[in-house]
Amino acid sequence: MTDSILFQAFVYLAIAVVFVPIAKRAGLGAVLGYLIGGVAIGPSVLGVVGTEGHQVMHFAEFGVVMMLFLVGLELRPALLWEMRRPILGLGGLQVAISAGVVAGAAMLLGIGWKPAIAVGLTFAMSSTAIVLSSLAERNLLKTSGGQAAFSVLLMQDISVIPILAVFPLLGVHVATEIIDVTSEAGRPAWVSALLLVGAMVGVVAIGRFVVRPVFQFLAGVKLRESFTAAALLIVIGIALLMQQVGLSPALGTFLAGVVLADSEYRHELESDIEPFKGLLLGLFFISVGAQIDFPLFGHQPLTILGVVAGTMALKLLVLVALGRAFNLDRPARWLLAFSLAQIGEFAFVLVSFGVQEKIFEPAFASMLVAAVAISMVLTPPAFIVLERYVMPRVTERAEQRPHDVIEHADTPVVIAGYGRYGQIVGRLLRANRIPVTILDLDPEMVDVLGRLGVKVYYGDASRVDLLHAAGCERAKLFVLAVDNKDEATKIAEAVRHNFPHLTILARAYDRPHYWELRALGVHKVYRETFGSAHETAIESLKQLGYRAHTAHRLARRWRLHDEQVIEELGAIYASDRTGYWERTRLAMDEAERLMREEDPNVYEQGDSGWDNESLRADNEVDAAASTTQPS
Amino acid sequence: MEAPTGAAVQALTRDLRRRSHVILMRRVLVQFAHPVFERSRVQRRLLDAIRGMEHLTIRDLYEEYPTLAIDVRREQLLLLEHDVIVFQHPFYWYSAPAILKEWQDLVLEHGWAYGKGGTKLRGKITLNVISTGGPESAYQRSGYNRYTIRELLAPWDQTAHLCGMRYLAPFTVHAALRVTGDIEVIPSQREYRRLIEALRDERIDLERAAAVDNLASELDHVLAPREVA
Q: What is the pLDDT of residues A399-408, one digit of tens each?
A: 556 667 666 6
B92 CB neighbours in chain A (<8 A) are: 610
Where is pLDDT greater, at A186 or B194? B194
> What amino acid occupies position A413?
V
pLDDT in tens, A268-308: 788 888 888 888 888 888 877 777 777 777 788 888 888 89
pLDDT in tens, B71-118: 999 999 999 999 999 999 999 999 999 999 999 999 999 999 999 999
* SS3 labels along B179-216: CCCCCCCCHHHHHHHHHHHHHHCCCECHHHHHHCCCCC
Q: What share of chain B is helix, strand, coil (3-state, %, to 5)?
A: 40, 15, 45
CB distance A548–B62 less than 8 Å? yes
* Rg over CA atoms, chain B: 18
Helices A62-73, A224-245: inter-axial angle, 10-degree rounding: 110
Domain boundaries, chain A: 5-175+186-395, 408-528, 529-608
Is residue A370 within 8 A of residue A296, CB to CB? The reply is yes
CB distance B36–A610 less than 8 Å? yes
The second-level CATH assignment, the architecture, of B25-222 is 3-Layer(aba) Sandwich (3.40)
Q: Do the bridges between strand B166-167 and strand B28-32 make them parallel or antiparallel, or are there none, so unpaired?
A: unpaired
A619 CB neighbours in chain B (<8 A) are: 133, 175, 177-178
A408-528 belongs to which homologous superfamily? NAD(P)-binding Rossmann-like Domain (3.40.50.720)
Segments in A358-499 forming alpha helices (H): 362-377, 379-385, 391-399, 420-431, 443-451, 464-469, 485-498
Distances (CA, A) of A565 to A366, A403, A591: 66, 41, 10
User: Residue A355: its pLDDT value, please?
Assistant: 80
User: Residue B228: its pLDDT value, please?
Assistant: 45
pLDDT band at A51 (very low <50, low <70, confident <90, very high): low
User: Residue B213: its pLDDT value, please?
Assistant: 95
pLDDT at B204 over 80: yes
Mean residue pLDDT of chain A comes to 81
pLDDT at B21 over 60: no
Is residue B120 within 8 A of residue B80, CB to CB? The reply is yes
Cα A503 versus chain centre, distance: 38
Residues 6-25 of B with CB under 8 A from A: none
How many Cβ atoms sit within 10 Å of the Cβ of residue B170?
24
pLDDT in tens, A490-528: 999 999 999 999 999 999 999 999 999 999 999 999 999
pLDDT in tens, A200-242: 888 888 877 888 788 888 877 777 788 888 888 888 888 888 8
Mean residue pLDDT of chain B comes to 89
Mean pLDDT of A348-353: 78
CB distance A623–B63 less than 8 Å? no
CATH number given to A5-175+186-395:
1.20.1530.20
User: Residue A503: its pLDDT value, please?
Assistant: 95
A15 vs A37: CA distance, rounded Å: 6
CB distance B36–A611 less than 8 Å? yes
State the Cα angle at A25 between A23 and A27, rounded to 5°: 70
The closest CB to that of A612, out of B38, B67, B133, belongs to B133
- SS3 state at A542: helix
Is residue A557 within 8 A of residue A594, CB to CB? The reply is yes
Domain boundaries, chain B: 25-222
Is residue A54 within 8 A of residue A285, CB to CB? The reply is no
> What amino acid occupies position A50?
G
Spatial CB neighbours of A599, under 8 Å, sequence gap ≥ 6: A590, A593
The closest CB to that of A607, out of B36, B62, B67, belongs to B36
With a threshold of 0.85, tell me whether the complex ipTM lies above it.
no
